[in-house]
Structures are given as C-alpha cells and as structure tokens.
Amino acid sequence: MKVLGIISEYNPFHKGHLYHLEESKKRTGADFVVSVMSGNFVQRGEPAIADKWTRAHCAVDCGVDLVLELPFVFACNSAEYFAYGGLSVLEGLGCVDCISFGSESGNIEELKEIAKILVNEPEELKTLLKEKLDEGASYAKAWGLALEEYAGEGASKIVREPNNILALEYLKRMAKTNSSIKAITIPRAGGSHNDVEPTCDYASATALRKKYHEQKTMDGFIEYMPMGSYRNLAKLEGKCNINMEDLFPMVVAEILRSSPEELSSVFSVNEGLENRLKSEIRNVRTMEELIRKVNSKRYAQTKIQRMLMHILVHLDQSSMNRIITKRIIYGRILAMNDNGAKLLKIIKKNKSAKIPIITNINKDIRDDSLLWQLLNYDVLATDLYNLTSGNNLYAGADYVVKPIKI
C-alpha cells in the first residue's frame, strides 16, 4: 500500500492541479491520495473563491481520495507555518509514504541542497541577512540577496519563485523532523503562479480568480478547469464572489474596538504596526487603501492581509505559541470517495494515526479540550466566510456540515 500526500489550496482546482495530481500518481504508483487543503481563508490572507466543502468536493471529483482541512492558523499564515501545519497532518496520519509538490525548479536534489543550507543557517549567511535587512530590504528580498552572496546566483533565483519557496519550506520542515516521508516535485506546467490573465490551458489560479471576480460568471472557464471542478463551482455561481473588500467593515470595527496594546498582542502585528493601524483607520475608505497605507517596503502585501485576518479572528501571539509548543493538530475530514473511506478504515484498523481524526466536531471534540484551542479558529473563520458571502450561518456552520462522501 502506497499513500501519496499533497498539501493544497485548490483555489480553484484547475488543469494545472490535475496535471500535478496525475503526474504524482504516475511517479509514485500511489494507491491512495490524501490532500491537506486550506479552509475558507488561504495563504495570501484572502477568502477562498469558494467554501472549503465545495473545493474539497472538486478535489475528490478530480481524483483525490481523501481531503483533510489545513487549520486556519496554518493555512492563513507564512510559508513556514503553512508547511508546518500541512506536514504535521500528513505525518500524523502515520501512513503517508510520499509527498508531492509543484515547483518552478523541478529538481528535487537542487531544492534539497538549498533547504539544507537554510536549515543549518551558517553564521556567514545570518550576518549577510542582517546586513540586507538593516539596509531596508524586505525579508524575502533580503534572503534572496544574502543567499546569492553565500551560494551563488542560481540559488538566489530559486528562492525568488513562489512555488520554490513553499517547496523549500516543506523540505526544511522534513529535515528538521527527520521525516520518513519521501519528497518528489513536479515542474509547474503552463503560466506563472502570479499571472493575472489566462494565457494557456494551464492558467494560474490567480488569473482564474481575477477573471471570476471581474465577470462574476463561469463563462469561458471550462477550457481551464477539469469538468469535476467546473461543475461544482458553476453550482455556486453568484454565491462565491467574495473578496477582501467584503471584509472591510468587520476589519474596521475590530481595529476601532481594539486598543493599541490589544492589537500588538495579535500574532502577526509587530514593529509598531498597531500604531499605524490606529492612526490610519479613520482616513481610509477601502481595504485596498488600508493595506496600502499600512504597508511598507519591508512587508509584502500578503503579510498585511494575513495580519488583518488574524486581527479579525483574534489570533494572538500566546495562543499561537501554545498551539506550536503543545503540538496541537488534528485531521479533520472534508470529503472522500470510496477509496478514501477504505484508507480511513485501514488507518483505524492499524491504529497508525498519531493525531485525532475528526468527522463530527460535535462528538469528537469537547469545548474544554486542547484541540478546541485550534479548532475554534476554523469555526470562526467559517462563520465569517458565511456571513460575508450571504450563506446561511446555521446551515453552513462547521457544527452542521458533515464530510462529503462521493
């Protein structure tokens, strides 16, 4: 029995994802495919194009056997935490043999060599990084410049690409934990990750989201998406068009309500950003304007977006530290097919899982349990997503919706 793991967002599931999935199956000979997928908010700090249940349904219809949720605090976070959460779930199942991720590099050995450098953090590299940060470079740019001086231009080019960056975080995490999971990478097919216009059959998720938000219909999407994904998203037409601007009133209310001290306790608020938020909040009229006013050359826009989402759900530094220190994690099932159900039976029979497997939060978790300290952010994120999108707060709540069996 061979089990393949994929950490994903599928926002939305497109032909590039299908290519990655099918190539990964071929290369590994996997009998089962498990995906740990972001919930209703994604790594860029934005609401997903469709709710997590619909996107999980898309994934299973397109060939994934079992979809588990990547908890909000990891999904809506930096690449390091995103990788930490995804790998913690896959490793916690106790049956995953290999993980596959996309990359611009396509060379797993090349990526492993750079990951080894980043894990060991040689003193010379740390000194170079500090110099670049002191010169005013953003953290991501400083890393690239420091690595270029330390390891050459080739390494620097690799860490500038978004899929490579995430691939390196997976490999760093696996090296730190001496993971037994084997890693493979599939070269990214088609357009760039950040392309804003569909230019080929393998259009980027960024381009597809932009296209949908602009035209507000699924017209023309069939050429970029597998039928299983297209069909499920088409059912939501007119109901899955929320974006950051829709969250603006709630974000404003939270910033107005909170004192500077309360804001500074939020996980991703640092270096005086709480004061900038308080001083600018009465002078802005849109989320875009707020992000632009608070932003600086030191931070990427996605960092600011994640910070605003953390403020919205009250993710504070002490709670995040507790989640990491106590290694709070679970595998919450979103969707499965018959093969996925078979894998769950095997996991249960062999008692291989090292983490709780959750199918019904009403039965599987008590409000006073450690797991609730992580799950409550998922529940709140779902409520906020439903509130913003106009979905029924009760019918769409995490307490009500059950895993989808296809």
pLDDT digits (tens, 9 = 90+) for 245-265: 999 999 999 999 999 999 999
What is the C-alpha separation between 269 and 307, in angstroms, rounded? 6
From 94-108, 149-163, 269-283, the region with the lowest mean pLDDT: 149-163
Above 70 in pLDDT, residue 195?
no
Contact 18, 226 (CB under 8 A): yes
pLDDT > 70 in the chain, percent: 95
Nearest-CA neighbor of 62 among 112, 10, 2? Answer: 10
Above 60 in pLDDT, residue 192?
no
Contact 40, 52 (CB under 8 A): yes
Cis before residue 12, ω within 30 degrees of 0?
yes
How much is the average pLDDT of 122-150? 84
What is the C-alpha separation between 368 and 21, in angstroms, rounded? 39
342-383 confidence digits (pLDDT tens): 999 999 999 999 999 999 999 888 777 899 999 999 999 999
Nearest-CA neighbor of 54 among 201, 175, 230? Answer: 230
How much is the average pLDDT of 188-194? 60
How much is the average pLDDT of 278-288? 95
Domain ranges of the chain: 3-104+183-242+328-405, 245-321
Q: Which residue has the tokens 């420091």?
A: 146
**Both tokens assigned to 256:** 């107005």
Which pLDDT belongs to residue 129?
87
Which pLDDT belongs to residue 374?
96
Contact 208, 224 (CB under 8 A): yes
The backbone torsions φ and ψ at residue 300, rounded to the nearest 5 degrees and listed phi first, read -80, 155
What is the C-alpha separation between 331 and 85, in angstroms, rounded? 10
Which pLDDT belongs to residue 51?
95
Which pLDDT belongs to residue 102?
95
Which pLDDT belongs to residue 365?
81
Grade residue 239 by pLDDT with cuts at 50, 70 and 90.
low
Which pLDDT belongs to residue 304?
94
Contact 275, 293 (CB under 8 A): no
160-178 confidence digits (pLDDT tens): 888 999 999 999 999 999 9
From 76-90, 148-162, 367-381, 388-402, the region with the lowest mean pLDDT: 148-162
**Both tokens assigned to 377:** 């952010």
From 8-22, 112-126, 315-329, the region with the lowest mean pLDDT: 112-126
**Both tokens assigned to 229:** 């994904």
Which pLDDT belongs to residue 196?
46
Q: Which residue has the tokens 């802005």?
A: 284
Which pLDDT belongs to residue 191?
54
Record the pTM.
0.93
* Greater model confidence, 384 or 200: 384
**Both tokens assigned to 175:** 């090296």
Above 60 in pLDDT, residue 53?
yes
Which pLDDT belongs to residue 64?
98
Calculate the average pLDDT of the chain: 91
**Both tokens assigned to 386:** 């439903």
Which pLDDT belongs to residue 197?
53
**Both tokens assigned to 354:** 């090292």
> What is the 3-class SS of the chain, one letter each residue?
CCEEEEEECCCCCCHHHHHHHHHHHHHHCCCEEEEEEECCECCCCCECCCCHHHHHHHHHHCCCCEEEEECHHHHCCCHHHHHHHHHHHHHHHCCCCEEEEEECCCCHHHHHHHHHHHHHCCHHHHHHHHHHHHCCCCHHHHHHHHHHHHHCHHHHHHCCCHHHHHHHHHHHHHHHCCCCCEEEEEECCCCCCCCCCCCCCCCCHHHHHHHHHHHCCCCCHHHCCCHHHHHHHHCCCCCCCCCHHHHHHHHHHHHHHCCHHHHHCECCCCCCHHHHHHHHHHHCCCHHHHHHHHCCCCCCHHHHHHHHHHHHHCCEHHHHHHHHHCCCCCEEEEEECHHHHHHHHHHHHHCCCCCCEECCHHHHCCCCCCCHHHHHHHHHHHHHHHHHHCCCCCCCCCCCCCCEEC
Q: CATH classification of 3-104+183-242+328-405 is 3.90.1300.10, yes or no?
A: no
What is the C-alpha separation between 199 and 216, in angstroms, rounded? 19
Beta carbons within 8 Å of 239's beta carbon, 6+ residues apart: 389, 390, 391
Handedness of CA 22, 27, 30, 32 (dihedral sign): negative
* Greater model confidence, 10 or 237: 10
Contact 107, 157 (CB under 8 A): no
Q: Which residue has the tokens 């106009």?
A: 390
